[in-house]
Amino acid sequence: MVDIASFPLQTAAQRRRRALLAQPKVVLGGAFILILVLLAIGAPWIAPKDPLEQDLMLGTLPPAWIEGAEPGYWLGTDDLGRDVLSRLIFGTRIALLVAFVAATLAALIGTLLGLVAGWYGGWADRVISRLVDIWMAFPPVLLSILLVAVLGAGVHSVIAAIVIIDWTRFCRVVRSETKSQAQMDYVTAAQTIGFSRTRILFSEILPNVAPVLIALVSLEMGIAVIVEAILSFVGLSVSSDTPTWGGMIAAGRQMIYQGWWVMVAPLIALFATVLAFNQLGDGLRRALDPVMRR
């Protein structure tokens, strides 16, 4: 017997799924990021070489399509004879770890404060808004370098620095969206029924803020990848032995004329990853926001 009560829910889910699949940005960006996730998880089995293995006799080997290449070294080697492709694959782990964890934590903190400021207003709104204004007055990259220098190098310090800086992005956007949603008729109806303010905030307003929030999280992941690469470039991320895209770019910069591929490979990976996160975020907003869909 057909469960009629569940039919509208299934139809809504199907419409949402079709809307996502109809966005090329969601499909292409999501597929690229999924490939990166699989590479990061399977790095020990996918990477052709040990990323830390050195062989000075094989230093600065060119990629496979250039004369003088050695079999098995598809993207060549760096000045220490380490396989560039293997280091690139293992560097995906740090980039995605920082992106997912830092963006999620920044979103949680910023969203909570933005909801409180936008819904309750009053002194809470004034305090949070002034804090955001003061925090955003500092240059984010310089502040992140300062924070990591104080906290000490390491992936945990990088994540903490990004969270401390970028929660303001979420707070400002969510506060603005919450104030806008608070003027809608469905909020008035919920108040008339007798819903508490907290229930209205989390069960009525938050779901309508979610499309913007999801898009912002995806964009923040791209920003986190860039910040981690910058900190790795200046030697303030993980140890120099751990493969990171920023560390590879820094090492390749010193030998650009002898082995340009050492720097170009992580630059392309960094650019493609940030572009994928940005395209995914834009596509998610277009697919999930009913106003933009129309």
> For residue range 167-209, what is the model confidence (pLDDT) as tens digits?
998 999 999 999 988 888 888 888 888 888 888 888 888 888 8
pLDDT band with cut points at 50, 70 and 90 for residue 1: very low
Spatial contact of 119 and 178, defined as CB atoms under 8 Å apart: yes
- Provide the pLDDT for residue 15: 66
pTM given for the model: 0.86
- Provide the pLDDT for residue 114: 92
List the single range of 8-17, 125-134, 169-178, 267-276 with lowest mean pLDDT.
8-17
Structural domains of the chain ordered from first start: 20-293 (1.10.3720.10)
Report whether pLDDT(81) > 90.
no
- Provide the pLDDT for residue 209: 87
Report whether pLDDT(290) > 60.
no
Q: How many Cβ atoms sit within 10 Å of the Cβ of residue 148?
A: 21
pLDDT band with cut points at 50, 70 and 90 for residue 9: very low
- Provide the pLDDT for residue 292: 53
Spatial contact of 243 and 87, defined as CB atoms under 8 Å apart: yes
- Residue ranges of alpha helices (H) inside 63-154 are 84-120, 122-135, 140-151
Give the residue-averaged pLDDT of 263-276: 94
Give the residue-averaged pLDDT of 144-150: 81
- Provide the pLDDT for residue 13: 59
Q: How far is CA 29 from CA 47, 109, 204, 213, in A?
A: 23, 26, 30, 17
Q: Mean pLDDT of all residues in the chain?
A: 85
Q: How many Cβ atoms sit within 10 Å of the Cβ of residue 208?
A: 17
Report whether pLDDT(11) > 70.
no
Tokens of 187: 């909020």
CA atoms within 13 A on the CB side of 171: 25
- Angle between helix axes 84-120 and 155-181 (nearest 10 degrees) is 40
Identify the residue with better confidence: 97 or 185.
Answer: 97
- Provide the pLDDT for residue 2: 46
Burial 213-251 (b: 16+ CB within 10 A, else e): bbbbbbbbbbbbbbbbbbbbbeebbbeeebbbbbbbbbb
Report whether pLDDT(236) > 90.
no
